[in-house]
């Protein structure tokens, strides 16, 4: 899922300080699971903003809505009838949701209430870690199901490098070396022969380096 974390309340207050009417817009998907931008967080942020403006002696209208997804046109349509009631939208969806809302309602300022971080997994309660960088050319079949692009700090395709020590990465003693994880997994799978195979130079044009990406599925288009 896409992992995000809440922006500090002070930063959000500074962004919306001149508004008279604000819509706090949540999303029911990834940001709900990582407890950064779902319905509960919408309630919490809206309440915090109301209390802030009350203390300022200002009457600011704070609306609350949570959409099924902010990255789909059909769900964004659900706020068409109320969007004009507000000066600004604070979207606490991921960066995709913030941008898609802004695209849909071109004349309305839409600002983020979260920082979007990465595509990751929920390791334990309150712990998420990165697993995928969407490089567009998946290598997991040859790397024992562990991604050298997202798990190795240097994104080395034939590792480990000299900075791997006692199974940890040189950039952080707490961070497992991605290549150590790959080797351990290949051993467990009895597939160490795969480790001897040189992974060829990767075509990075399918990654972000090739510019903003787009998928057009002719089989799905209407």
Partner 1 sequence: MRPLEKGADGVYVVGCREGDCHYNSGNFRAKARVEQTRKVLDALGIGGRRLEMFNLSSSDGPSFARYAREMHDRILELGPNPIRTALAKKKKPPPAELQAAVA
Binding site for partner 1 (CB under 8 A): 8-10, 43-44, 47-48, 50-52, 54-55, 57, 59, 125-126
Provide φ and ψ at 13, rounded to 5°.
-60, -40
Query: At closest approach, how far in Å is the CB of 55 from partner 1?
Result: 5
Ramachandran area for residue 210 (φ above 0: left; ψ -120 to 50: alpha; else beta): alpha
- Residue (64 or 184) nearer to partner 1, CB: 64
- Residue (8 or 145) nearer to partner 1, CB: 8
Query: At closest approach, how far in Å is the CB of 155 from partner 1?
Result: 34
Query: At closest approach, how far in Å is the CB of 10 from partner 1?
Result: 6
Give the up-direction half-sphere exposure of residue 183: CA atoms within 13 A in the CB hemisphere: 14
- Residue (57 or 162) nearer to partner 1, CB: 57
DSSP for 120-181, please give it: EEEEETTEEEEEE---SS--TTTTTT--HHHHSTT--SS---TT-BTTEETTEEEEEPHHHH
Query: At closest approach, how far in Å is the CB of 12 from partner 1?
Result: 10
Distance CA 144, CA 204 (A): 21
Closest to 15 measured CA to CA, from 76, 132, 98? 98
- Residue (43 or 136) nearer to partner 1, CB: 43
Query: At closest approach, how far in Å is the CB of 149 from partner 1?
Result: 32
> How many residues does this entry show for the chain?
222
- Residue (53 or 86) nearer to partner 1, CB: 53
């Amino acid at each position: 899922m896409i992992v995000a974390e809440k922006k500090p309340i002070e930063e959000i207050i500074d962004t919306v300080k001149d508004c008279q009417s604000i819509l706090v817009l949540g999303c029911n998907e990834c940001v709900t699971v990582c407890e950064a931008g779902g319905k509960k967080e919408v309630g919490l942020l809206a309440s915090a903003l109301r209390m802030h403006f009350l203390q300022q002696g200002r009457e600011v209208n704070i609306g609350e809505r949570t959409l099924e997804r902010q990255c789909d046109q059909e769900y964004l349509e659900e706020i068409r009838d109320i969007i004009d009631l507000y000066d600004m939208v604070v979207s606490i969806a991921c960066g995709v949701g913030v941008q898609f809302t802004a695209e849909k309602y071109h004349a309305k300022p839409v600002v983020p209430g979260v920082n979007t971080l990465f595509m990751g997994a929920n390791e334990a309660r309150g712990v998420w870690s990165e697993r995928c960088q969407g490089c567009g050319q998946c290598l997991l079949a040859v790397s024992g199901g562990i991604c050298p692009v997202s798990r190795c700090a240097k994104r080395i395709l034939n590792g480990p490098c000299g900075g791997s020590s006692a199974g940890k990465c040189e950039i952080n003693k707490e961070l497992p070396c991605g290549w150590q994880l790959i080797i351990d997994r290949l051993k467990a799978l009895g597939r160490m022969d795969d480790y001897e195979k040189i992974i060829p130079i990767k075509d990075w044009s399918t990654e972000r380096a090739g510019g903003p990406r787009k998928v057009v599925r002719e089989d799905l288009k209407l």
